[in-house]
């Protein structure tokens, strides 16, 4: 009976996503195709106006996921769509439109990840030149005394959980492809240290969660003057952190040097259930304030947790016993956040459009601040991880509900 009920719920998928004639296609394929239909030019993803181009981590994130789906499900048009963006923005001399190394912005490293595969496939030297430029940025990135990267040059002495995803998977893949021996070991130690120091500085012993960021100088208006921490654990920030761990470990592997990352990941998934919504299993925008008036279930952070859990289980970073729960949470995510549109496309709902700390907007990191940011559909920061989560769900091949992974 329970399996039949779950099957019925999935079949509904917020207005029949799974019962639609298109539903025989995997959800990763449907979402990628939906995004291409909504944005015929990849340069317009993330709301970039027509005729403009921007070296943008959100665009790069989603295009990497779309290209990965193209490879897994044999849709070369997805890879071609992603390649159009990089062909446009990367110039023949290896320069990148709108990119400035002097900004030392970790966000600007993230979109380069797609260039590893693109360089492998095309052999075009300009793509390798960009990869080398981004690695050089990391080598010159300002650091705190404990070695932690500053998030940006304009945010001196600050580490944000977001920044771990922006930099470390790229750093790890670059090291795995280019280094060996002592040079490789030095890079691994540096990468692992980024995860360890940010965990030490953002950990909240009261909740067991990690706060969004910390300021090593204790000078920013948004930080606690004793700890340097921001005021709350923000859902998407911890989602970035969880994804960063699994995507970095896939290049470095698990051994004594990377074991601290595995321990952090397992701690995250020990604590997260305490803050999930009992009815849906999903997580709130302000993670450490579940159920508080004004707080809401937020899709981008939730899908990052689901994706990292599915991938962590598959690759052995999380216990195999967690697989049924990971699959159940994916199904619950689809039920809660994926909707069918009249034109046959699908959308991801309830995405926090943006959130940060400080800057020109003087973002305070308070509860009131986080819930004030716009909520939209189909934000790149949710769409990309949803495509990857759907791919991980399909890889496991054993539906716990007795339903196909449509």
> Is the predicted pLDDT of residue 399 greater than 60, yes or no?
no
pLDDT of residue 397: 73
Per-residue pLDDT reduced to its tens digit, 204-253: 999 999 999 999 999 999 999 999 999 999 999 999 999 999 999 999 99
Say how far apart CA 113 and CA 64 lie, in whole Å.
7
CB 329 within 8 A of CB 306: yes
pLDDT of residue 13: 45
Query: What is the token pair recorded at 160?
Result: 């944000």
* Assigned CATH for 2-396: 1.50.10.10
pLDDT of residue 398: 53
Question: Residue 3: pLDDT band by 50, 70, 90 thresholds?
Answer: very low
> Is the predicted pLDDT of residue 21 greater than 60, yes or no?
no
Name the one residue in this structure whose structure tokens are 């960021």.
213
The angle, 0 to 180 degrees and rounded to 10, between the axes of the packed helices 57-73 and 27-38 is: 130
- What is the percent of the chain where pLDDT is above 70? 92
Per-residue pLDDT reduced to its tens digit, 314-355: 999 999 999 999 999 999 999 999 999 999 999 999 999 999
Assign 3-class secondary structure to 175-224.
HHHHCCHHHHHHHHHHHHHHHHHHHHHHECCCCCCECCEEECCCCCCCCC
- Which pTM value belongs to this model? 0.93
CA 47 to centroid of chain Cα atoms? 18
C-alpha distances (whole Å) from 268 to each of 20, 88, 146, 165 are 36, 39, 23, 16
pLDDT of residue 20: 53
């Amino acid at each position: 009976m329970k399996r039949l009920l779950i099957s019925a719920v999935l079949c509904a998928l917020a207005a029949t996503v799974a019962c639609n004639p298109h539903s025989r296609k995997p959800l990763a394929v449907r979402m990628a195709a939906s995004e291409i239909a909504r944005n015929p030019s990849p340069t317009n993803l993330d709301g970039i106006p027509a005729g403009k181009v921007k070296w943008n981590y959100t665009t790069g994130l989603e295009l990497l996921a779309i290209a990965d789906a193209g490879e897994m499900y044999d849709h070369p048009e997805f890879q071609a769509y992603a390649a159009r963006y990089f062909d446009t923005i990367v110039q023949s001399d290896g320069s990148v439109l709108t990119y400035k190394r002097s900004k030392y912005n970790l966000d600007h490293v993230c979109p380069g990840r797609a260039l590893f595969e693109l360089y492998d496939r095309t052999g075009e030297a300009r793509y390798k030149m960009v990869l080398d430029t981004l690695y050089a940025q990391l080598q010159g990135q300002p650091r705190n005394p404990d070695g932690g990267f500053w998030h940006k040059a304009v945010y001196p002495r600050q580490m944000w959980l977001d920044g771990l995803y922006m930099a470390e998977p790229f750093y790890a893949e670059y090291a795995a492809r280019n280094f060996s021996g002592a040079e490789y070991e030095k890079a691994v130690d540096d990468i692992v240290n980024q995860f360890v120091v940010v965990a030490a500085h953002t950990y909240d012993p009261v909740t067991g969660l990690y706060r969004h960021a910390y300021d090593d100088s204790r000078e920013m208006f948004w930080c606690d003057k004793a700890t340097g921490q921001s005021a709350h654990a923000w859902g998407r920030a911890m989602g970035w952190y969880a994804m960063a761990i699994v995507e970095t470990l896939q290049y470095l592997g698990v051994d004594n040097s990377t074991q601290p990352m595995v321990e952090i990941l397992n701690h995250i998934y020990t604590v997260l259930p305490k803050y999930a919504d009992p009815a849906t299993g999903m997580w709130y925008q302000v993670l450490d304030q579940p159920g508080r008036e004004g707080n809401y279930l937020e899709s981008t952070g939730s899908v990052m947790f689901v994706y990292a859990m599915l991938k962590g289980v598959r690759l052995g970073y999380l216990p195999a016993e967690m697989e049924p729960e990971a699959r159940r949470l994916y199904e619950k995510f689809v039920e809660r956040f994926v909707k069918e549109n009249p034109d046959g496309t699908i959308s991801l709902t309830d995405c926090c459009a943006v959130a940060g700390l400080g800057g020109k907007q003087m973002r305070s990191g308070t509860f009131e601040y986080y819930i004030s940011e716009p909520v939209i559909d189909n934000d790149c920061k949710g769409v990309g991880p949803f495509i990857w989560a759907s791919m991980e769900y399909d890889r496991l091949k054993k539906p716990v509900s007795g339903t196909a992974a449509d």
